[in-house]
Amino acid sequence: MAPRPFFSAGAWVQGRGEPIESRNPETGDVIVSLSCASAEDLDDAVEAARRAIAAPSWANLPRHMRARFLHRMGELIDRDRERLANVQMQDNGKVLSECRALLESAANTFRYYAAACETLEGTVPPARGPYLNMVLEVPVGVVGAITPWNSPATLEAQKLAPILAAGNAVILKPSEVTPLIGLEYAALAKEAGFPDGIVSVLTGGIDLGRAMVSHPGIDMISFTGGTAGGRHIAAEAARKLKPVVLELGGKSPHIVCADADLEKAATAVAMGIFSGAGQSCVAGSRIFIEASIADEFTSMLVEAARSLPLGSPADPETQIGPLVSFAHRDNVHAHVSRAVAAGANLLVGGVLPTDSRLSAGAYYPPTLLNRLSNNSDIAQQEVFGPVGVILPFEDDEDLIAQANYSDFGLAAGLWTRDIGRAWKIATRLQTGTLWLNSYKNLSISTPFQGHKQSGLGREKGLDGLRQYLQTKAIFWPA
């Protein structure tokens, strides 16, 4: 059977690249073989995109008409939510209830940017002479979007919706590990009626991503993925003077002060690192506990970790599904094994499941380590699995120094009932997002930005739309 085609220039295409396979991490079975785009296939998609943005049918389309396409995408995702949630689950192993929530969020993302598309306004700055001065917000052109495997349903909606709302064309390259939702979105974009060439979704690996970054016909790159990939992309984009948005990795501190509601904090800290099997950019993977409650709270966390059922992502009882792939599971295990060999204490987990129910899948148990140094590899490197390290702190100065000792600055959580202390710590933590007495609340209307090596640029909110626009100032003499 021919591999599944990708979507380019309004049509389903058999590519000239080497095909790849999508596998279900619950069983290791191949779901489908996929056709991949070569450099020539990319040229075709870019040429179609450039034609499409120049055509009056897109360039002159009133904003409310453009917004209709986005509303329609939201409706189509809602219509197909159950099917799409199952596709996402099989491709990436996330539990079904979470996949349903991701699809709901994706539909809302299209609606949010439909509204923003209609309401975002230019400005008329005060005149400094006998002229009228208008500042228009115009599209950047053709945007290349490159996405990771951990939450394609939302991460790809967060690229497509604002890029299109801003009036650009988009060429999306989903992760080669989880390409299926991107292809489903392509089919919905065709059904929603976007002009041919405005949305293309090409399947392929890093080579295709690299070709997109250096392609002269792609005006901007929006990347979500690891910090190493982001660094390469930033360097190549600098050579081309091409704007980039980079949403990168994290090693987020989750902090528990002695006066916190410990019951609530234990549940949130456990879910902060173990939900999605830890494969979240904002996973609270460095757990800082005030020294006076370190033993008590560590026991609570170990108990919480033991109580989380591992199993089939389709089972409603399951809290932790398989990791995305066997290769990634082995990588996570290697991180833990190296940490233990270097002297860390394994409190729970850290062993591949032997249970016959789980041994066919890429499962890894919730794992906690302590008695290690904050500058050890496992406390500094992103593991991207269900692995938390526990680090005690003595006082606020010690906490701030330890929590900020990281290349990353994506997110943080803080549990305390003392509002003065909360404020002081919140203002000193180097982070793009901070959750007080909660964790992982996300909102499409709130900008999301990594500090330090966690990123450049912002997604979500109106800032997430503006970065795909450029200003054009027009001076008009009286």
| Residues taking part in catalysis | 159, 247, 281, 459
Size of the site for ligand NAD (CB under 6 A): 30
Q: Which is nearer to ligand NAD, 241 or 419 (CB)?
A: 241
Cβ-based burial of 56 (10 A; exposed 0-12, middle 13-18, buried ≥19) = exposed
Centre a 10 Å sphere on the Cβ of residue 265 and count the other Cβ atoms it contains: 26
Per CB under 6 A, 146 contacts ligand NAD: yes
Q: How far apart are the C-alpha atoms of 280 and 401, rounded to whole Å?
A: 24
Residue 285 CB, nearest approach to ligand NAD (Å) = 10
Residue 449 CB, nearest approach to ligand NAD (Å) = 9
Indicate which single residue of 10, 229, 313, 409 sits in contact with ligand NAD (rule: CB under 6 A).
Answer: 229
Radius of gyration of the chain (CA): 23
Per CB under 6 A, 249 contacts ligand NAD: yes
Residue 408 CB, nearest approach to ligand NAD (Å) = 9
Per CB under 6 A, 284 contacts ligand NAD: no
Backbone phi and psi for residue 24, each to the nearest 5 degrees, phi listed first? -85, 115
* 365: nearest Cα among 345, 327, 336: 336
What tokens does 150 get? 């951990």
Q: Which residue is nearest to ligand NAD (CB)?
A: 209
Indicate which single residue of 122, 226, 243, 447 sits in contact with ligand NAD (rule: CB under 6 A).
Answer: 226
Among the listed ranges 140-148, 186-194, 260-268, 419-427, the one in contact with ligand NAD (CB under 6 A) is 140-148
Cα 193 to chain centroid distance, Å, stands at: 27
Indicate which single residue of 6, 58, 112, 149 sits in contact with ligand NAD (rule: CB under 6 A).
Answer: 149
Per CB under 6 A, 447 contacts ligand NAD: no
**Residues in contact with ligand NAD, shown as a per-residue x/- string from 334 to 373 under the rule CB under 6 A:** ----------------------------------------
Residue keyed to tokens 């790849």: 20
Pair type for strands 286-290 and 387-393: parallel
Torsion of CA 302, 305, 309, 310, to 10 degrees: -120
Indicate which single residue of 213, 362, 387, 465 sits in contact with ligand NAD (rule: CB under 6 A).
Answer: 213
Q: Which is nearer to ligand NAD, 155 or 257 (CB)?
A: 155
Q: Which is nearer to ligand NAD, 204 or 365 (CB)?
A: 204
Among the listed ranges 41-49, 90-98, 226-234, 260-268, the one in contact with ligand NAD (CB under 6 A) is 226-234
Among the listed ranges 93-101, 173-181, 348-356, 359-367, the one in contact with ligand NAD (CB under 6 A) is 173-181
Among the listed ranges 4-12, 53-61, 147-155, 345-353, the one in contact with ligand NAD (CB under 6 A) is 147-155
Residue 344 CB, nearest approach to ligand NAD (Å) = 22
Q: How far apart are the C-alpha atoms of 71 and 65, rounded to whole Å?
A: 10
Indicate which single residue of 98, 184, 247, 290 sits in contact with ligand NAD (rule: CB under 6 A).
Answer: 247
Per CB under 6 A, 455 contacts ligand NAD: yes
* 346: nearest Cα among 327, 366, 328, 362: 366
Provide the binding-site residues for ligand NAD, judged by CB under 6 A. 146-150, 155, 173, 175-176, 205-206, 209-210, 213, 224-226, 229, 232-233, 247-250, 281, 382, 384, 410, 450, 455
